[in-house]
Structure formats: structure tokens, C-alpha cells
Structure 1
């Protein structure tokens, strides 16, 4: 028998319409749907190129490409554990989850150079379980990331002349 939090998550995600939206997306993209552990619904065969992840969650529905099936169906799968945590985040935030997640991803890209490292939703779901490598934040002073060490230009070369202040001649 499933635990109380699992049953609550299932019903909340049904009522906030995130699970029906996930099922609609799975059906519309031709995924094969099977029941998974902890009242999660597995949708294999997601064909679209976005998002660029091995799997993603909408409500209690985990959509994944056929190439990721081995990672999802592995015993005690870290990837499935990660996606199940996202399902709980949907239950907590309901329809606000997606806008909050996309905002956090954009801010993470600005701060850390990737959409996951500084994203609180990905960090709470477990970066390593989701297949992400924790990045290092960029230095606000130099614009350098800890990974590449290259200086990030504020403007492309062709716009550099526009960014300079004109000299005053009196």
C-alpha cells in the first residue's frame, strides 16, 4: 500500500490539473504510457527535441525518450527518484510550478552558466540524481566561470564600438 504522501501527491496533482496536462502531452506526442512506482506514470518515447533532458516531469507523468529507458527502469533509479521529487514540487506549487521553474532556470543560466546548477528546483530534486554536474558560479567582478576560465565579453566584438563612451572635445 502506498504511503500517505504518495497518495496525497497523486490526488493533488490530479486536482491541480498538472497530471492531466502531462497525460495529454504524452498522448499528443505518441508516448506509450505505463504505471510506475509510487503512483508515477511513465511515458516512454517522447519525440521532441525540447527540453534537452533525459526525462522531465509534468504532474505525476515522467516523459522520457526511448534512449533513456534503461536509466528510468534501473533498480533504484536515481533519474526516476529525481523526477519523482519534481512531481512533489508540482503538488506543492500547482500551476505556478512551470513559470517558477523557467524563471529559476533562466537565473541559474545567468549566475552559473547552465540552467540547473543554481536552480533551487533542480538542487532540491538532486543534481547528481538528475544527471547534472554541479557548476561553479560566475564571478560577478570578472564574468569568469570556474569551469572554463574564459572571460565572458559583455558585448560581441561588432558592438564594442557602441559600448564605448565618446570622448569629449571642447
Structure 2
């Protein structure tokens, strides 16, 4: 693991975003899937079953909560890289404070173009294509 990834892990532990991610994993995943280490110092929690958020995968701190089995995500390096960029965003944007910022940006994106990602700067900086998103035009252009 690179030094920058280790630093991200430390910052996300101190800002409490990774502990929050582990708490969500404990509350929202099937115990059979468990936690799996992923490249870049990420932790994959498979079997996420709570209804919110509706995304197939989402990140809190260094924890990627995934609706499928962890091995399934490990076979999707682009999506894993996308989620790793979100982990870095938690380190840069004051940990759990990123959650309300993200929600506001998702709401603006939904109003502008009809989806939560196209005009959400967090998703755009994480790589829309890597996250499996298609960029949509603003509603006033269609």
C-alpha cells in the first residue's frame, strides 16, 4: 500500500468516517459476507441490505458497502477505483461532514438533469464512467 493510501486510512479513522462505515456494515450487512480487504487499503462489506441508499455500492470512510458478495466487487476494478476516490474525498472533506454535502449535491444534480450523479461534483471527481454512470445533459438543454 502506498504512503498516500495509508495516510488516507489514518485520516478517515481519526475523522470517524471509517468507524461510521464499519458501524453501517455491522447494522446493514448479512454476517455471512463479512469484511474483505481490497486493494488500496479499502474494506469491502458485502451483502448490504438496508434500503438506503439505493446504490449498488457506496463508500463511508474506507469501507465500501456492497449489495453483492465482496468477490464480485473485487472483480470490478474500475468500480473499486471509483469507490476508492470517494474514500479519499472523506479524508479531504472532514469525514462524516461529507455525507450532508454529498446529499445536497445529489439533490442539485437530480433537479438539474434528473439523476443523482451527472452534476454531483463528488461523483464527477470520482469518475462517472468508473462508477457506471452515464452523464446526462441538463433538463433545459433537452
Shared fold (TM-score greater than 0.5)? Answer: yes
**Larger helix percent:** 2
How many residue pairs get matched? 138
Mapped partners of 1:91, 1:48: distance in 2: 25
- The RMSD of aligned alpha carbons is 1.5
Cα 1:68–1:137 change in 2 (3 A) is farther
Task: Look up the match of 2:115.
Answer: 114
How do residues 117-156 of structure 1 correspond to structure 2 at under 5 angstroms?
Answer: 117-139=118-140, 146=142
Bigger Rg over Cα = 1
How do residues 22-101 of structure 1 correspond to structure 2 at under 5 angstroms?
Answer: 22-31=21-30, 32-66=34-68, 69-70=71-72, 72-74=73-75, 77-93=77-93, 94-101=95-102
Structure number with higher relative contact order (C-alpha < 8 Å, ≥ 6 residues apart): 2
Measure how far apart 1:69 and its partner are: 4.8
Task: Look up the match of 1:149.
Answer: none
Q: 2:29·2:45 contact (CA, 8 Å) conserved in 1?
A: no
Mapped partners of 1:136, 1:66: distance in 2: 30
Task: Look up the match of 1:162.
Answer: none
Measure how far apart 1:4 and its partner are: 1.5
Measure how far apart 1:40 and its partner are: 0.4
Q: Secondary structure at the match of 1:66?
A: coil
How do residues 10-25 of structure 1 correspond to structure 2 at under 5 angstroms?
Answer: 10-25=9-24
Unaligned runs of 5+ in 1: 140-144, 147-170
Q: Secondary structure at the match of 1:81?
A: helix
TM-score using structure 2 length: 0.91
Stretches of 4+ aligned residues off by more than 6 angstroms: none
Cα 1:67–1:44 change in 2 (3 A) is closer
Mapped partners of 2:63, 2:92: distance in 1: 15
Unaligned runs of 5+ in 2: none
